[in-house]
């Protein structure tokens, strides 16, 4: 095991570099997890967005009813009727929606010639659409009462419409499992795990293998009594040690950071996640071996490490959730092994039971990851065999002086 021992000695020599890599990448993973967990909830919570109602019409029944129903679902913020004030409120995110009741809106509504209610909503958020939906529901309810002829008193019609919208239905949430569901923090940590695992494994492998590719070391290895198969096996063993060590450290960090979330959860969730990450580890080990065959310098190491980690993760749902990706990108992502890890993670977090029917898609995803790992490893063997044959052929060449 001379090659394996040499790799471990070089790893010990670069221990400071490994520690720096680990701290930087773990810090990156934790920051992405904790920042991504902000404003994400695993249950239903009441949200009352801020709104402003600017009435340019004389006060009437319709305006009062609209204000009453908006107060029920939102929080009123007073603003003056000026373009500058509304622009400042939108820029500083003081309000999520601004309603403008145009002049003559009340009379036109009851006569059947409706004007459009002015509305500005803060872009990129669902709060503005929520407020718009509430206002449209109220106006639709008022139209139904008006057109049905159920009453002629405007005050009575408005009060009935508001009362109808204030009716609530009791919702009962039931769990189908013994423990709690998967929290968003755990899901985010597991989602970003492939990126950091790729960075750690690629960096830890290539920084050592670059020394073995130095010309003097390479020539000495070619004339050594160690067979190429044994050398390749010992290098594979070293990669497995690096990958397994990185995987174990990341899981320990994840357990410490998400300890409270893990405590109240059904034990089968973490078991499936760990099993899913083990198959991801096989993929990472195969990719690290394949990339090590092409890297010849430290500059190439940084380039290939960033290209593989960022490229594979951007297209596989690590940084962007799979639900947001377009159908074209999803078709491409299915040829990337990290995609099946992320897809499996979503299926595990969405489990409502552990029946055979629910678990079969997860087993299939793990089998696909194992298939990708085997295919990449076979490609590595072919590349390594080709390079060994090229080296042996070069060693068989004789110069004119030797002839």
Instruction: Kindly give the parts of the chain with pLDDT less than 70.
Output: 36-46, 59, 124, 149-152, 171-181, 215-216, 218-219, 221-222, 224-226, 228, 388-403
User: Which residue(s) pair with 54 in the sheet?
Assistant: 100
Given a contact cutoff of 8 angstroms between Cβ atoms, the answer to whether 209 and 308 are in contact is no
3-state SS, one letter per residue, for 183-214? CHHHHHHHHHHHHHHHHHHHHHHHHHHHHHCC
Q: Which of these, 332, 363, 331, lies nearest to 348 by C-alpha position? A: 363
Q: How far is CA 397 from the centre of its chain?
A: 54
- Number of H helices and E strands in the chain, helices first, is 16, 4
DSSP characters for 379-402? HHHHHHHHHHHHHHHHHT---TTT
Q: Which of these, 256, 269, 293, 278, lies nearest to 348 by C-alpha position? A: 269
DSSP characters for 366-380? HHHHHHHHHHHHHHH
3-class secondary structure, 155 = helix
Query: How far apart (Å, rounded) are the C-alpha atoms in residues 98 and 107?
Result: 22
pTM: 0.65
Please report the pLDDT score of residue 218 as a whole number: 67
Element holding 120 (H helix, E strand): strand 118-121
Given a contact cutoff of 8 angstroms between Cβ atoms, the answer to whether 65 and 17 are in contact is no
Listing from the earlier edge strand, what are the strands of the sheet with 75-76? Answer: 75-76, 50-55, 97-101, 118-121
Given a contact cutoff of 8 angstroms between Cβ atoms, the answer to whether 342 and 317 are in contact is yes
- Beta pairing, strands 118-121 & 75-76: unpaired
Given a contact cutoff of 8 angstroms between Cβ atoms, the answer to whether 283 and 372 are in contact is yes
Triad 148, 149, 152: Cα angle to 5°: 140
Please report the pLDDT score of residue 122 as a whole number: 77
Query: How far apart (Å, rounded) are the C-alpha atoms in residues 286 and 289?
Result: 5
């Amino acid at each position: 095991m001379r090659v394996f021992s040499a790799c471990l000695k070089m790893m010990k020599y670069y221990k400071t570099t490994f520690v720096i890599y680990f701290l930087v990448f773990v810090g990156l993973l934790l920051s992405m997890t904790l920042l991504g967990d902000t404003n994400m909830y695993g249950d239903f919570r009441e949200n009352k967005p801020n709104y402003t109602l600017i009435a340019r019409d004389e006060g009437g029944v319709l305006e009062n009813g609209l204000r009453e129903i908006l107060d029920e679902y939102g929080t009123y913020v007073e603003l003056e009727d000026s373009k500058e004030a509304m622009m400042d409120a939108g820029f500083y995110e003081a309000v999520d929606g601004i309603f403008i009741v145009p002049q003559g809106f009340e009379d036109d509504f009851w006569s059947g010639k409706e004007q459009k209610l002015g509305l500005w909503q803060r872009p990129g958020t669902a709060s503005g659409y929520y407020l718009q939906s509430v206002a449209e529901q109220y106006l639709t309810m008022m139209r139904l009462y008006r057109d049905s002829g159920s009453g002629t008193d405007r005050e009575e019609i408005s009060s009935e419409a508001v009362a109808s919208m204030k009716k609530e239905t009791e919702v009962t949430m039931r769990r189908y499992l013994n423990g709690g569901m998967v929290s968003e923090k755990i899901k985010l940590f597991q989602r970003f795990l492939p990126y950091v695992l790729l960075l750690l494994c690629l960096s830890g492998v290539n920084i050592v293998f670059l020394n073995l590719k130095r010309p003097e070391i390479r020539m000495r290895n070619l004339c050594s009594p160690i067979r190429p198969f044994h050398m390749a096996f010992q290098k594979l063993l070293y990669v497995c040690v690096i990958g397994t060590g990185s995987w174990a450290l990341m899981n320990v960090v994840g357990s410490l950071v998400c300890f409270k979330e893990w405590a109240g959860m059904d034990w089968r969730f973490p078991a499936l996640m760990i099993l899913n990450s083990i198959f991801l580890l096989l993929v990472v080990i195969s990719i690290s071996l394949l990339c090590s065959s092409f890297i010849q310098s430290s500059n190439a190491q940084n380039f290939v490490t960033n290209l593989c980690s960022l490229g594979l993760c951007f297209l596989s749902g690590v940084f962007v959730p799979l639900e947001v990706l377009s159908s074209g990108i999803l078709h491409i992502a299915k040829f990337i092994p990290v995609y099946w890890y992320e897809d499996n993670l979503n299926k595990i977090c969405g489990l409502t039971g552990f029946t055979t029917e629910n678990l079969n898609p997860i087993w299939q995803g793990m089998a696909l990851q194992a298939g990708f790992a085997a295919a990449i490893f076979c490609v590595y063997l072919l590349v390594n065999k080709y390079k060994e044959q090229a080296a042996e052929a070069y060693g068989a060449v004789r110069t004119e002086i030797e002839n």
